[in-house]
Chains A and B, each alone.
Chain A
Amino acid sequence: MTTRIKKQPKVEGKIIKHAPSKQFKYTDSETILNIQSKTPFISAVKRITKLLKDLPKRQPKYTYIIVKGSGRALERTLSIGIHFRDVERNKVEIFTKTLEVLDEIDAGDEDEDTVLKKRKVPSVELHIYRSVYD
């Protein structure tokens, strides 16, 4: 079942958007790539290709790398996935998720504390496997 994400009501004041919860593991830096809406397409493709190439050397236990994108970067992430599936002929798995992020609302009055609010963001995760031709 899919959960529909409701549009948030507009808030007065400045909003500081915080990144979603993340736990650091050293292997993540060699197996996970996050895509932003401003990440250039070709740079992402090149970086993924490099990660895939180095994977057996650096992280031999892993058979695929994870590419993540959420919100405005959904479309770009998916088009990267399609590129690897159709052009590079890699096995690509696509998973959809919903992320929870924190928004800090600053009403501008310094006598009042800022308020943290939760917001849901659509997100997509690609598993790109090493190509059989490599």
Chain B
Amino acid sequence: MAPSYKQQQKKKARYIRSETNDKSLNKGSILNVSEFLNSRSFEINELTKAQLNAKFSSSTRAFQSLPRKLRRRTASHNVKRIPKRLRKRALREMQSNTNDNEGTGVVKKKKLPIKGKQIYQLKMRKNLLTLLTAMNQEQRKIIDNNQVAKLNFKNLKIRTRIKEISKVLQNNKNLMKVNNEIGSFDNTGLNKYAAPPVGKMKYYKRQREFAWLSTHVWHAKRAHMIKQHGFQIPLAPTQKIYKLAHRNFHYKGGMVWDKSYFNALILSSDNQSQIVEVLETLTGGKTKLGKRYLQNGGIVTKLIYGSDGKLLGPVEIISLHYKTKFNAVLRLHPSIYQPVFDHILAVKPESVLLQDNRYSIGSLEITGPNALKSLTTVLKPFHTKNSEAEAWLKLANEVNVPDGIIFTVQMKDPRLVNRKKVPKDRSVDLNDLLIEMKTNKTTLNEATIEKFVTPEGREESYRDQLSLKSIGKLKTQAQGSTPINNIANFPVIVYKTNNIWKLLAPWYWILPIWQPLNHIAHLNFGGVIQERQLCFEKSQLNYPKDYHFTRVGYQENEMNGALTLDKWNRKPKSKRFNYERLKLNISEKKHFRGELGDWSKCDWRYLQLLRYAFAQLAAVNGGEKINERKPPVVTRTSNWDQLFNREISQQHDVYSFVNDIVQFEKSKKEPLDFVPIELTSVTQHQVSPPANVDSPLQVTAVKFTLIGNGTLKPNARVYSLPDPTLQAKKPTWNPHQRQPLLGEEEDDKTQIPVPHSQYLIGFVTSGNFNLLAGENTGVGLIATEFVQSVENNNKTVLVRNVGTDVVRMAKFEVVNVV
């Protein structure tokens, strides 16, 4: 019997090479010293190598030969989680493993405890599935999406279910013909919503409420998933990836995301002004769309507003035109897709066609120095002679490409192409090429755009799309030597914004791109958390996490707060920090104790009420702030006006007023029906504090950098400087030359005292040690009135993390939202 794989490995490892035919000893009695030494050093090397080999040959297991990023969870124990080609070896290893609990080392087949009726049910269920999946295999027909949605299986017994389905199958009207063997089809809604994709019948029930991406099964094995906004979204890889992701973004390799859950819709018309009108109603008439963005290939990101005039979030608009048709492709976060779609449907003229492309256009995002190179190794142009294909190949290895570059190329099936790297072409001046691309739009192909934008074009792209089985057959026939001719090709839009390459393609072509892309060295996949990390490192706001001034962002903040609170509540009393006993400001401790607002979140309602109440108090006192050094004057108890509102005329009224409303809203146990903050531009006009209880606080997005020691955490409280003398004490800002820190001077060893709550101006939405900046940074929102009041060279605030009484000084800078 031939020796097993492991036996071979062990034999190999134990074999030590030596130089038996020693040249140094051959010349009679004379010893050639240098040759003698060489042979000995060779033998010593071999000996040490053999020791290591022997060690590793017995300690490596089958699953360890896979790169870490492609390993699956629990792969070490479950043979089925290992790629098929390694399964035999893994099984053998499991069997020879004598360290398992039973000591037998035999992998037992689990016996299912099923009998009579259950066996019958399982058999029937199997029939049911084969009935449905056989359809697309043989006849190239699948059930219409809408028909599946109508089937209500809930209370039916299996026999009835099979009957129901065969009824549907008998009626030819309920069936759709597809042009390929794997059941891909273009699922677009024209002027209406498209029905969610059904997927394979076996997994139909699991994706009824939250649609699967085309890469769902791949992701589910390697990442944590969340169900949100009608999709199942990868949250983060199971592999620990924080530092690796940072390196991928900026220095080595790259990171890729499947962003198919980012929804697309397309507006098309013969008359461009009609599209512009629709788009400008979305932007609330606040921003005009310049011709720069409306020309063919123009890309822009704007903030959009709902039909009620409230800010919804950012949208990416790509203008793609062909022949006489003008098109605008809109990409939106799934949380705001429905209100935008409904709004457009209500305002658009009839001649404008609105496509719902949620389930018909997929997208990838890829960033890092290796981004474009990875894309060009996987995606090879179908028509190599076209100008856009030539530019694609010339630019293939480039790292630094300006934002706004766009390609529209017809690509080959990535599973069949020869995935060699594109060789460097030194004769090309890339700068000239980029200038030419920008001025002459040589990379925009109208035929490709038409195929991408129209439902018929996307449908056509699936023609003869092969299954993995057929690809395997073709590859064995070709035996790796002759190139495989396959007519399948599909349109791809690739463009770069915000230093991220984005790829749009028909929905069912994303998986064929995704699989080979993930085999490229140093390219890792990411999830939502990695996306947040990238934004944080660049000090940009991430939607919806940092967009607390939108409905969705506000809800996300509330939800995260509730989760933190729940986790805290489940701890034993002795193990949880008591935020209510926290002593902050000395002059305020008579009135209240504990953290300002809810400690688990950025408590915007609390801040808005507090700013309102202190403004009221200042108005009574003739515009003066409270003097903390003086003991508070209490001349009377609370007063109420005729409408039973508390009158604010003394300091203690403020706390009671805020507390009343907060407690009342808490007791209602319903979320607030409005967002208590609103984003405003600093340059617009002078902003004043909230005029009444229901008017939102005006805020501005800023980034913070700590001066000196300390850390910056999410939900940290931000204060304005209460004492002008503190500014004089501010260490001069030079990160590379360490100045004596605050409290380090000999004459003043005390820390900065916690400011009075009247100086509270905002919260940090995300803060951490920033690996890119090499120091603690954060982004957050602070009151616009404060930003307007400070001079440019004095942009300093005080920051205090939740649950602490240590105040740090931080520099802030206004950042652009979008």
Considering the chains assembled together, what is the distance between the CA atoms of A18 and B251 in angstroms?
17
Chain B CB within 10 A, most for which of A19, A111, A115, A117: A111
Residues of A within 8 A of B289 (CB): 110
- Whether the pair A102, B402 counts as a contact (CB closer than 8 A) is yes
Q: What interface size band does chain B fall in?
A: 20 to 34
Task: Name the contact of B431 in the complex, choosing from A24, A100, A110 (C-beta under 8 A).
Answer: A100
Residues of A within 8 A of B478 (CB): none
- Whether, in the assembled complex, A118 has its beta carbon less than 8 Å from a beta carbon of chain B, the answer is yes
Q: A23-B424, A116-B438 are in contact. Are A104 and B291 (CB under 8 A)?
A: no
- Whether the pair A18, B435 counts as a contact (CB closer than 8 A) is no
Chain A residues 79 to 134 lying within 8 A of chain B, measured CB to CB, are 100-102, 104, 109-118
Q: How many A-B residue pairs have CB under 8 A?
A: 67
- Whether the pair A104, B397 counts as a contact (CB closer than 8 A) is no
Considering the chains assembled together, what is the distance between the CA atoms of A9 and B53 in angstroms?
66
Kindly report which residue of chain B lies nearest to residue A19, judged by CB atoms. Answer: B400
Residues of B within 8 A of A22 (CB): 369, 398-400
- Whether the pair B288, A26 counts as a contact (CB closer than 8 A) is no
- Whether, in the assembled complex, B475 has its beta carbon less than 8 Å from a beta carbon of chain A, the answer is no
Task: Name the contact of A110 in the complex, choosing from B288, B370, B435 (C-beta under 8 A).
Answer: B288
Interface of B is mostly: loop
Interchain nearest-CB distance for A106 vs B (Å)? 9
Residues of B within 8 A of A117 (CB): 435
Residues of A within 8 A of B288 (CB): 110
- Whether the pair A26, B521 counts as a contact (CB closer than 8 A) is yes
- Whether, in the assembled complex, A13 has its beta carbon less than 8 Å from a beta carbon of chain B, the answer is no
Task: Name the contact of A21 in the complex, choosing from B404, B430, B438 (C-beta under 8 A).
Answer: B430
- Whether the pair B292, A116 counts as a contact (CB closer than 8 A) is no
- Whether, in the assembled complex, B560 has its beta carbon less than 8 Å from a beta carbon of chain A, the answer is no
Residues of A within 8 A of B429 (CB): 100
- Whether, in the assembled complex, A29 has its beta carbon less than 8 Å from a beta carbon of chain B, the answer is yes
- Whether, in the assembled complex, A60 has its beta carbon less than 8 Å from a beta carbon of chain B, the answer is no
Kindly report which residue of chain B lies nearest to residue A29, judged by CB atoms. Answer: B252
Residues of B within 8 A of A23 (CB): 397-399, 424
- Whether, in the assembled complex, B415 has its beta carbon less than 8 Å from a beta carbon of chain A, the answer is no
- Whether the pair B434, A116 counts as a contact (CB closer than 8 A) is yes
Interchain nearest-CB distance for B280 vs A (Å)? 13
Considering the chains assembled together, what is the distance between the CA atoms of A48 and B522 in angstroms?
23
- Whether, in the assembled complex, B703 has its beta carbon less than 8 Å from a beta carbon of chain A, the answer is no
Residues of A within 8 A of B397 (CB): 23-24
Chain B residues 514 to 570 lying within 8 A of chain A, measured CB to CB, are 521-522
- Whether the pair A118, B431 counts as a contact (CB closer than 8 A) is yes
- Whether, in the assembled complex, B295 has its beta carbon less than 8 Å from a beta carbon of chain A, the answer is yes
Considering the chains assembled together, what is the distance between the CA atoms of A29 and B429 in angstroms?
24
- Whether, in the assembled complex, B242 has its beta carbon less than 8 Å from a beta carbon of chain A, the answer is no
- Whether the pair B434, A102 counts as a contact (CB closer than 8 A) is yes
Considering the chains assembled together, what is the distance between the CA atoms of A117 and B402 in angstroms?
12
- Whether, in the assembled complex, B290 has its beta carbon less than 8 Å from a beta carbon of chain A, the answer is yes
Residues of A within 8 A of B399 (CB): 22-24
Considering the chains assembled together, what is the distance between the CA atoms of A18 and B399 in angstroms?
11
- Whether the pair A114, B292 counts as a contact (CB closer than 8 A) is yes
Residues of A within 8 A of B252 (CB): 26, 29
Kindly report which residue of chain B lies nearest to residue A101, judged by CB atoms. Answer: B431
- Whether the pair B290, A111 counts as a contact (CB closer than 8 A) is yes
Considering the chains assembled together, what is the distance between the CA atoms of A101 and B726 in angstroms?
45
Residues of B within 8 A of A116 (CB): 402, 431, 434-435, 438-439
Kindly report which residue of chain A lies nearest to residue B441, judged by CB atoms. Answer: A113
Chain B residues 493 to 524 lying within 8 A of chain A, measured CB to CB, are 521-522
- Whether the pair A21, B431 counts as a contact (CB closer than 8 A) is yes
- Closest A-B pairs by Cβ, 7 of them: A110-B290, A19-B400, A111-B291, A24-B369, A22-B399, A23-B397, A116-B435
- A21-B431, A110-B292, A111-B292 given; 6 more Cβ-contact pairs under 8 Å: A110-B288, A110-B290, A110-B291, A113-B438, A115-B438, A118-B435
* Residues of chain A at the chain B interface (Cβ within 8 Å): 16, 18-24, 26, 29, 40, 100-102, 104, 109-118
Some 18 contacts from A to B, beta carbons below 8 A apart, are A18-B400, A21-B430, A22-B369, A22-B398, A24-B369, A26-B522, A102-B431, A102-B434, A110-B290, A110-B293, A111-B291, A112-B292, A113-B292, A116-B402, A116-B435, A116-B438, A117-B435, A118-B431
